[in-house]
Structure 1
Amino acid sequence: MARGPVDVHVVRGDDGAIRIAADPATAAVPATGPAAAPDFARAVLDVAGAVLTWSVLGDPVPPVAEIHDVGRAQQWLWAVYGERVAGAVHACAAAELADVGVPSDLTPLAGRAARLGFGHWAARWWPASHLDGIPALQPDVLGLELAALTHECQQLFDDEGDQPDDCVAELVGDHRVALDPLIQWWHATPPSTDTARQLESVLRSVDDAADSAGLDGPALRRLRSALDRPRRPDGTPVDLVTLFVRHDDYALAAGDPLVAGGRLIARGSGTNDWRRYPPGFVDAAETAVSWTARAFGARRRIEVEVVAHIAAPVTAVPLAAEVRVNDGPRNRVPLSRRVDVWTGRADLDLPAGETQPHIELGVLLPGFDPGPGPEGGADRDSIRALIRRRLATAAQSDAHNSPPHEDAYRPFLAEITAATTDEDY
């Protein structure tokens, strides 16, 4: 993370929107333009009057800002970028300037905002994979830390109701089941460690957020009681495996198993584009999508196998494979989950004697799918490398003591639990 001021460009667009970015080329194009990173490589946060964006593969601060309501954004601009940038935005909004470079300050709120954006990214794009050996995050642990961060970042939000990322009460309510395990972890962790400080900070912020939102319940009352009492660690190592048990067994669904037989024509791997289905459906590995083409007399058939995510639904869902043969039309093959795979089959329209068909195959959820995009294998590989580095850091989170720090991308508690409890990956 950079430590000194960073020059940013403030640009007023033809539509009146104002953009802030360290890269002048990025500042001059819309967020969805050709210079933008793929969806799965960007952390995005909806804030008052604007959208903030970070590349998860780059320096976390400062973010790119697309401001559509300068009046609302002024409440946080100075606290994220510093007074000089806030003044430049005001001048651009008043048409006194159209494009100006100005130093931004790396503020504490900028670091917390980057961390909150990354946390939302992890909830959506974390590439959990049995095939790649990347463990899934415990969603309730991540959800409570996001609640704490959102509460700490309240200056970014207002009461207009158009900021879906301002969801403290929902996050606490949905994920409060993790409160008791986090309290036990905190009590069993030596107070001089970074993890103990992080746990206490999260728990106190969740308590404050719940109180501000008027939330109540047994788990929240136990949290308040634990925070009010002096903490006396007993030195007993905490068993995170026991504390954060996940029910990982794959359940059977109604899909029919693929039947062997016929003459093999070809087989290959498809494209696993993370953008085309929601999180928790498909193993994130590049090799998770595969196909086999067979001949049964004059009939030609494609059989599709897609490795399921650990959390994949077992109820009926319209997950599908999209098949394209020899640059022809795209056809969809319904998939159903059976044990740890999604499977499906369909007849192929192949010319007689065709022995090497060119087959493109991807997996998608109709209604969610934005359509096939440019090949992003290299970017997905970069994301996997980033996650492996983060997990390696998380596994050593308490290898030595260090003072509190404002590292926007330091490991989340959910990453620490994933790195230390998923031995089967």
Structure 2
Amino acid sequence: MAPGHVDVHVARGPDGTIRIAAGPGPRPIEVHDGVVHVGPDFTRAVLDVAGAVLTWPVLDAPGLPWAEVHDVGRAQQWVWALYGERVAAAVHDSAAGRGGVRVTAEATALAGAAARLGLGHWAARWWPASYQDGIPVLEPSLLGLELAALTHRCQQLFDDEGDQPDDCAAELIEEHLAALDPLIQWWRATAGSVDMARRLETVLRLIDDAADNAGLDGPALRHLRSSLEGRGPAAASADPGALFARRGGYALAAGEPLVTGGRVIARGSGINDWRRYPPGLVDAAESAVSWTARALGARRRIEVEALADPAAPATGTPLVAEVHVNGGAPHRVSLARRDDLWTGHSDLSPDPQAGVSAPRIEVGVLLPGFDPGPGAPGDADVRAGRDAVRALVRRRLAVARRPPAYDTPPHDNCSAPFLAETAATATDEDY
């Protein structure tokens, strides 16, 4: 097969959905109740596009996505540009009731940009920031602006139906306008670094074009346009770590500090399942959750601590710990943030530990209403996935510290660091 070409299987499912399976795709790891699961959510990058959902396995080399096409008419506007004419014809034939077929897809420029956009949304949701693991936080506004630029770059994937949450360039620009001026300062200070200047300018011009198409205006966007029209003298220096440093730090919350006392009957580490709470609440380290069980006379009490993400709100977040004792029904413990910890405690009543000197306790943290519940993959698979994600992130940060020159424009190159990754490496000495 020629370089840049990929073997693709196109077939229609029993429900009429057309599946485009490119290359190895997401690897099935378990069959549960007759359904094939392709690994934990945090090992997949996903884009909701016109008439379809695109999926990439982030732990494999970037390539063409798998697609589940539920509206062929809407999807045909981009299928040919993403996969090439042969795949577009095969999708049309499958929709008409013809059998599955293998064809050769082309690695197009849109495919590269789409893969990078999908990876960017993955990073916004699943980046495993952890003080304990030494993985720095990505500045959300900087990542948000680059996602806006990439969304505009991939506009062919979307239509005007309004049911695609990932078609959000204008919303991202408006939400993260505060990061635009620091981004311009960074660009103006990169005269001596041709590759970095090109990367920054590409993002800024895409943001400008997206804002213009959406009819956005305001002082920050007018400053962007004037800067692009006449760059002016270069800034003397601009440390991205300082430009995008987070303000503030751990704030004191109203949570009640844990009170020591009583006899410790058990202690251990809990399960830190990233799927059960939104990003920016809990440190992503495997050992971020810990618990202590105490005997206070006839009472039994569970105390839970979880390392907080620096961005976690000081108040108003109903984070809870879910406690299982000796395989019993779950018992929920409210957590409040205090400095760099989420803490909480609760009596366990009726006493499930009667006559047991060393109870078996499992503890995890979750956000009610967000928590999807237990996933199909087993705990060993989920933990292995988390370890693999940490390894991937460390490799990307190593590249961001010493970025090479890229022949391919960064908006078409998944291996190129995001600007937020590059900025994070300038501040990760504290991690």
Task: Give the letter for the 1:207 counterpart.
Answer: D
Task: Give the letter for the 2:278 counterpart.
Answer: P
> Is 2:370 the counterpart of 1:368?
yes
CA contact (8 A) 1:272 1:285 kept: yes
Who is 1:19 aligned against?
19
Who is 2:427 aligned against?
421
| 1:190-225 deviation digits (Å, cap 9, x = unpaired) | 365321111000000000111110000001001000
Residue aligned with 1:34, SS = strand
Q: Shift of residue 261 of structure 1?
A: 1.0
Q: CA distance change for structure 1 residues 27 and 380 in 2, over 3 Å: closer, same or farther?
A: closer
Task: Give the letter for the 2:280 counterpart.
Answer: G
CA contact (8 A) 1:84 1:104 kept: yes
| 1:61-87 deviation digits (Å, cap 9, x = unpaired) | 210100000010000001111111111
Q: CA distance change for structure 1 residues 193 and 26 in 2, over 3 Å: closer, same or farther?
A: closer
| 1:77-136 deviation digits (Å, cap 9, x = unpaired) | 01111111111000000112x211111110000000000011111111111111111111
- Partner Cα distance (2:9, 2:192) in 1: 43
Who is 1:77 aligned against?
79
- Partner Cα distance (1:162, 1:394) in 2: 35
Residue aligned with 1:21, SS = strand
Task: Give the letter for the 1:83 counterpart.
Answer: E
Q: How does 1:346-361 map to 2 (within 5 A)?
A: 346-348=346-348, 349-361=351-363
CA contact (8 A) 1:20 1:27 kept: no
Task: Give the letter for the 1:403 counterpart.
Answer: D
Please identify runs of 4+ aligned residues in structure 1 that moved more than 6 A: 24-30
Task: Give the letter for the 1:334 counterpart.
Answer: S
Aligned pair partner of 1:385 in 371, 386, 391: 391
- Partner Cα distance (1:132, 1:25) in 2: 29
Q: Shift of residue 34 of structure 1?
A: 2.3
CA contact (8 A) 1:125 1:279 kept: yes
- Partner Cα distance (1:251, 1:230) in 2: 40
Q: CA distance change for structure 1 residues 383 and 25 in 2, over 3 Å: closer, same or farther?
A: closer
Q: Shift of residue 160 of structure 1?
A: 0.5
Q: Shift of residue 328 of structure 1?
A: 0.7
Who is 2:272 aligned against?
272
Q: Shift of residue 33 of structure 1?
A: 4.1
Structure 1: give runs of 5+ residues left out of the alignment: none
Question: How many corresponding residue pairs?
Answer: 419
CA contact (8 A) 2:6 2:23 kept: no
Who is 1:66 aligned against?
68
> Is 2:407 the counterpart of 1:403?
yes
Task: Give the letter for the 1:417 counterpart.
Answer: A
CA contact (8 A) 1:21 1:27 kept: no
Who is 2:294 aligned against?
294
Who is 1:345 aligned against?
345
| 1:316-337 deviation digits (Å, cap 9, x = unpaired) | 2211000001111111111111
Residue aligned with 2:200, SS = helix
> Is 2:144 the counterpart of 1:143?
yes
Q: Taking every aligned residue pair, what percent have the same amino acid on both sides? A: 65
Task: Give the letter for the 1:200 counterpart.
Answer: E
- Partner Cα distance (2:58, 2:26) in 1: 16
CA contact (8 A) 1:11 1:27 kept: no
Q: CA distance change for structure 1 residues 187 and 24 in 2, over 3 Å: closer, same or farther?
A: closer
- Partner Cα distance (2:136, 2:343) in 1: 23
- Partner Cα distance (1:421, 1:175) in 2: 20
Who is 2:253 aligned against?
253
Q: CA distance change for structure 1 residues 351 and 205 in 2, over 3 Å: closer, same or farther?
A: closer
CA contact (8 A) 1:255 1:343 kept: yes
Who is 2:110 aligned against?
109
Structure 1 residues 255-264 or 245-254, which shifts more?
245-254
TM-score (norm 2): 0.93
Q: CA distance change for structure 1 residues 25 and 47 in 2, over 3 Å: closer, same or farther?
A: closer
- Partner Cα distance (1:278, 1:384) in 2: 18
Task: Give the letter for the 1:419 counterpart.
Answer: T
Residue aligned with 1:362, SS = strand
Q: CA distance change for structure 1 residues 218 and 75 in 2, over 3 Å: closer, same or farther?
A: same
- Partner Cα distance (1:3, 1:252) in 2: 57
Q: Shift of residue 279 of structure 1?
A: 0.8
Task: Give the letter for the 1:63 counterpart.
Answer: P
Task: Give the letter for the 1:9 counterpart.
Answer: H
Q: Shift of residue 272 of structure 1?
A: 0.5
Q: CA distance change for structure 1 residues 249 and 351 in 2, over 3 Å: closer, same or farther?
A: closer
- Partner Cα distance (1:320, 1:27) in 2: 33
CA contact (8 A) 1:304 1:345 kept: yes
Residue aligned with 2:252, SS = coil
Residue aligned with 2:48, SS = strand
Residue aligned with 2:176, SS = helix
CA contact (8 A) 2:25 2:56 kept: no
Structure 1 residues 403-412 or 358-367, which shifts more?
403-412
Task: Give the letter for the 1:165 counterpart.
Answer: D
Q: How does 1:195-210 map to 2 (within 5 A)?
A: 195-210=196-211
Structure 2: give runs of 5+ residues left out of the alignment: none
